[in-house]
Structure formats: C-alpha cells, structure tokens
C-alpha cells in the first residue's frame, strides 16, 4: 500500500481504505480461484494495482465518462481505476465467468458503486458505447483495436495537466510490455506511447508502456 502513497497523495480516506482492503481480498479469493500468479500475489500493489494506476497518472477522466475494461481478468486495470475515479463508470468484461466472480466479490466488499460486469467477449457487446476502452496485456494491439472500435463513441474531452490543457479523443488505452515494434507495425496504428518508467521509478516498470490510440 505504501507504494501507492509514494506516487499519489490526494486519495480520500475512503479511497485509502478501499485500496488497503484489496490485498486481503485478493489473497483470499486467489486461494480459491487462481487469477494472479502465486509469485505475484505478494507484490499485488506494485505489479497489479500501481501498474493499473499508470493510466490514472497519465490521463484524467472527467466525471460521467463510461469506460470498458476488455479482458479484465481479476479486475485489472478496472478495479484500481474505479477506486481512483469514483465519478466515472467502469464496465468490466471477461469471457471467463469465474474471474468475474472475484471482481463482483471485491466490488461488493469495498462498496464500489461505479462498476458493472459482463461475462462476454468484447466483440459480443451490443447496443453499448463507451468513451474509452482500457486493457492490460490481454491480446495484440491489432485485436484490441478491432474489438474496441465498434464500442467507442466519437467524442473528445479536455483536462488539465501539469503542462496545461490537454484535448483527449475517445480511444483505446492499453498497458503493454517488451519490444512492441512488430505488434504496432502489424496493427497499422500510430499510438501515442508513454513509458511507465517515466511515471514510476521501480525496476519492474522498465520496458512497460502505455499505448493510446484515438478512435
């Protein structure tokens, strides 16, 4: 938990309590349904929660936005982002139902009001549009773009950053690692890339990236 406070100083008391609760909940549920590797569960805050919050460190989502988390697994990046942005609605989607059982249990336990779940593949979602799609190491960029584009609204938002006002168009924001040159080339997209190591200095975040592709 301390590693979160190292980078984020503006949590409310309620957010601190919600983040604190994650470790016990995930350890308890992971013993029943293995969604986080045994070696990673002890590094939950660094490798899963803080990694998810790289999106919050780089982007500001205004209240009222709707975001779909494609292939959320046990709830990453969706659960940490939903805690961080309580006025934003998150729809967490996965094709494996037992993983969503954990998401639902965590959501109920910490009182997250802004999370819904759906047992489906992204391409099966009908009659819903979102401002952004987020994802964490689920599939190649080419596939993520193909799945997310039909789900995205055509809209734009402004938010204040350290360097001034930023205009952000609806799009896909995904967390990726390693050498992405071939994957990006095959996608045909020209994503904006942010090195996670420029946000968080731990060794774990070397060669990890945020990719943003506007619709």
Binding positions are: 71, 76, 122-123, 136
Binding-site residues for S-adenosyl-L-methionine sit at 71, 76, 122-123, 136
What angle, 0 to 180 degrees and rounded to 10, lies between the N-to-C axes of helices 97-110 and 13-32?
Answer: 150
Distance CA 119, CA 140 (A): 21
Strand 132-136 relative to strand 171-177, pairing: parallel
Sheet harboring 208-214: ordered strands across? 115-119, 89-94, 66-70, 132-136, 171-177, 208-214, 192-195
């Amino acid at each position: 938990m301390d590693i979160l406070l190292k980078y984020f100083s503006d949590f409310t008391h309620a957010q601190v309590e919600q983040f604190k609760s994650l470790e016990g909940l995930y350890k308890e549920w992971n013993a029943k349904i293995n969604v986080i590797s045994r070696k990673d569960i002890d590094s939950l805050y660094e490798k899963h929660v803080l990694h998810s919050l790289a999106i919050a460190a780089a982007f500001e989502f205004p209240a009222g936005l709707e975001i779909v988390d494609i292939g959320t697994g046990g709830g990453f990046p969706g659960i940490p982002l939903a805690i961080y942005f309580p006025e934003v609605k998150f729809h967490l989607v996965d094709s494996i139902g037992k993983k969503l059982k954990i998401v639902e249990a965590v959501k109920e336990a910490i009182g997250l009001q802004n999370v819904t779940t759906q047992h489906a593949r992204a391409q099966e979602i009908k009659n819903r549009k979102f401002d952004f799609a987020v994802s964490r190491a689920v599939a190649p960029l080419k596939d993520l773009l193909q799945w997310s584009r039909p789900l995205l609204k055509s809209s734009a938002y402004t938010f204040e950053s350290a360097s001034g006002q930023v205009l952000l168009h609806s799009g896909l924001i995904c967390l990726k690692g390693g050498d992405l040159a071939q994957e990006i080339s095959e996608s045909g997209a020209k994503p904006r890339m942010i090195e996670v190591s420029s946000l968080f200095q731990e060794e774990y975040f070397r060669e990890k990236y945020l990719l943003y592709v506007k619709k």
